[in-house]
Amino acid sequence: MKATPHIKPMNDVEIAETVLLPGDPLRAKFIAETYLEDVQQFNTVRNMFGYTGTYKGKKVSVMGSGMGIPSIGIYSYELIHTFGCKKLIRVGSCGAMQDHINLYDVIIAQGASTDSNYVNQYQLPGHFSPIASYHLLEKAVAKARDNGTTYHVGNILSSDIFYNADETASKRWMRMGILGVEMESAALYMNATYAGVEALGIFTVSDHLIREEFTTPEERERAFTDMIEIALSLA
């Protein structure tokens, strides 16, 4: 059985070509137990839990990615290059950066701008635009529309900095139409693109960077289910 420094599959459990990547490994456990059938755990290294099961008869895996670009950079690289994953779908939360976006809306990340230097490894003679797989994007949008989910499609920010000393930075990103901020998708999109596989990030809005608003557990649950149903429909 193949293994990497961070993923050591147990009991010969295979990792599916489609893998959902929430940041929190306990979210991975919850998604596996709630939405998948015939679930088996494949990873416990660093408590970054990973599971494989089926959704409507299709094999799907779900594994924590950890927080931030270095962490998802490691896990997605190993999933692609050692375990043959072909569709990597980040499911997470983000902070809204536009007035017309509300708490619990779904954001589908067409592009992932970033303040990270992750792209430097490719030594490109210019500025690269990390973008989603159009095929996955199109399918996710169709599913969101069918489900009657309130969704937005566009550019997000994958930031290296949660507590930014520069308090004006987010205003400048807002001016460029960034819909929301999270901390992982740009690396996922770059790893996937460089390897010739597909990736997409889907988010629920958990907080608002313009308005002070609060979430309730019931509404979080509904929005979360909307997002997971869209993600699982891509398997």
Binding residues: 6, 23, 27, 46, 90-93, 182-184, 206-207
Q: x/- binding map, residues 88-107, to ligand HPA, per CB under 6 A? A: -----xxx------------
Pick the closer one to ligand HPA by CB: 126 or 217. 217
Choose the stretch contacting ligand HPA; rule: CB under 6 A; options: 29-37, 46-54, 78-86, 179-187. 179-187
Pick the closer one to ligand HPA by CB: 96 or 197. 96
Handedness of CA 57, 64, 165, 208 (dihedral sign): positive
List residues forming the annotated binding site for phosphate. Answer: 23, 27, 46, 90-93
For ligand HPA, the binding residue among 46, 70, 142, 162 (CB under 6 A) is 162
Amino acid letter at 189? Y
Query: CA-CA distance, 23 to 68, in Å (whole number)?
Result: 8
Pick the closer one to ligand HPA by CB: 23 or 53. 23
φ, ψ dihedrals at 214, nearest 5°: -125, 150
Size of the site for ligand HPA (CB under 6 A): 10
Q: Take residue 108 and report the two structure tokens written for it.
A: 């589908």
Which of 24, 115, 160, 207 is catalytic? The answer is 207
Choose the stretch contacting ligand HPA; rule: CB under 6 A; options: 14-22, 98-106, 176-184, 222-230. 176-184
Choose the stretch contacting ligand HPA; rule: CB under 6 A; options: 4-12, 41-49, 80-88, 177-185. 177-185
Query: For the range 45-49, what are the long-range contacts, defined as Cβ-Cβ under 8 Å and sequence gap of 24 or more?
Result: 45/6, 45/7, 45/8, 46/6, 48/6, 48/7, 48/75, 49/25
Q: How far is the CB of 18 from ligand HPA (least distance, A)?
A: 23
> How many CB atoms lie under 10 A from the CB of residue 15?
23
Q: Is 115 a catalytic residue?
A: no
Judged by CB under 6 A, does residue 206 bind ligand HPA?
yes
Q: Partners of 202 in the beta sheet? A: 91, 108
Q: From 101, 78, 36, 100, select the one nearest 231 (Cα to Cα).
A: 36
Strands 151-158 and 106-114: parallel
List residues forming the annotated binding site for a purine D-ribonucleoside. Answer: 6, 182-184, 206-207
Q: From 147, 162, 160, 143, select the one nearest 206 (Cα to Cα).
A: 162
Please say whether the beta carbons of 48 and 19 come within 8 A: no
For ligand HPA, the binding residue among 106, 137, 179, 183 (CB under 6 A) is 183
Please say whether the beta carbons of 75 and 53 come within 8 A: no
Judged by CB under 6 A, does residue 182 bind ligand HPA?
yes
C-alpha Rg value of the chain to the nearest Å:
17
For ligand HPA, the binding residue among 16, 140, 181, 190 (CB under 6 A) is 181
Q: List residues with catalytic annotation.
A: 207
